[in-house]
Amino acid sequence: MPEGDSVYRATATLHRALAGQTLLRSDFRVPSLATVDLSGYAVAEVVPRGKHLLMRLQPPLTPDPDFSQPPLTLHSHLLMEGRWDLYRPGERFRRPANTVRVLLAFADLTAVGFDIAQVKLVPTAEEADLVGHLGPDLLGANWDAVQAAANFRDHPHRGIGEALLDQRLMAGVGNIYRSEILFLTRLHPLTAVGDIVQLEKVIEMAHRLLVVNKDRGRRVTTGLARTREPYWVYGRTGKPCLRCGAKVEVLRIAAQDSELQRDCFFCPHCQSAAN
């Protein structure tokens, strides 16, 4: 699952390359949008909202009586495998052509969305219907730590390891950061939210990790960009904890409203109890 910071970077790259550019051709390879033609629309901006990527599109600036369409938002959620790439004319795709879901052609660049699980197109005025359910965005301009804490406190019986991935409470944390945030705040993943006195510290840690990594090419939570160990516990099952030497363990935790179980890594010694 892409974390909020990787969506932020993907979004920033698309925004820099495409803002102000006019679409010459669009090709949607998803059934619900197969007949859509966005040619003539211009990219106003590309913005992240949690792990969602929003490309806002404007009708041509020159008023054309035959072109009275509303501003549109192309929404994509990258989920596990999705990504957007940019190509110069004639450049070979770096991913299999049969995984293309969206192709947007501009004068000297083509944006290609591969393996994107969710692609939707809505009038920009109705954008909130798609992302309005999201909690405060860790990398958003209106980040609200107090609201995020209040959202978590509304769910005192849920485990913090599960709740951190609930984008309705706070948007942007994926599986890697979940493990790292819990390690850095010394919380066992099954600790009930209501038992965490220093909930604000957990939220502050999430915010700090995403902010320091948002413009970096390589995600690091250990603070040493050159280290061979970018993560404290993530993906390190059976290896010694970098702090205490105990063996890192993994728990499979299901999300509240889904069957999907995801690995949460932790050190049983450093993260033994609620605090």
Q: How far apart are CA 224 and CA 115, in angstroms?
A: 32
Residues with Cβ < 8 Å from 123, sequence gap 6 or more?
Answer: 70, 71, 72, 73
Residue 126: active-site member: no
Residue 3: active-site member: yes
Is residue 233 within the footprint of Zn ion (CB under 5 A)?
Answer: no
Q: How far apart are CA 160 and CA 172, in angstroms?
A: 15
Is residue 250 within the footprint of Zn ion (CB under 5 A)?
Answer: no
Q: Which entry of 9, 51, 101, 186 is annotated as an active-site residue?
A: 51
Residue 162: active-site member: no
Is residue 243 within the footprint of Zn ion (CB under 5 A)?
Answer: yes
Angle between helix axes 199-213 and 4-18 (nearest 10 degrees) is 40
Is residue 187 within the footprint of Zn ion (CB under 5 A)?
Answer: no
| 8 Å CB contact between 177 and 209 | yes
Is residue 241 within the footprint of Zn ion (CB under 5 A)?
Answer: yes
Shortest approach of Zn ion to residue 252 CB, angstroms?
Answer: 20
Of residues 17 and 251, the one with the C-beta less far from Zn ion = 251
Shortest approach of Zn ion to residue 26 CB, angstroms?
Answer: 51
Is residue 248 within the footprint of Zn ion (CB under 5 A)?
Answer: no
Q: How far apart are CA 58 and CA 124, in angstroms?
A: 9
Is residue 184 within the footprint of Zn ion (CB under 5 A)?
Answer: no
Mind telling me the catalytic residues? Answer: 2-3, 51, 262
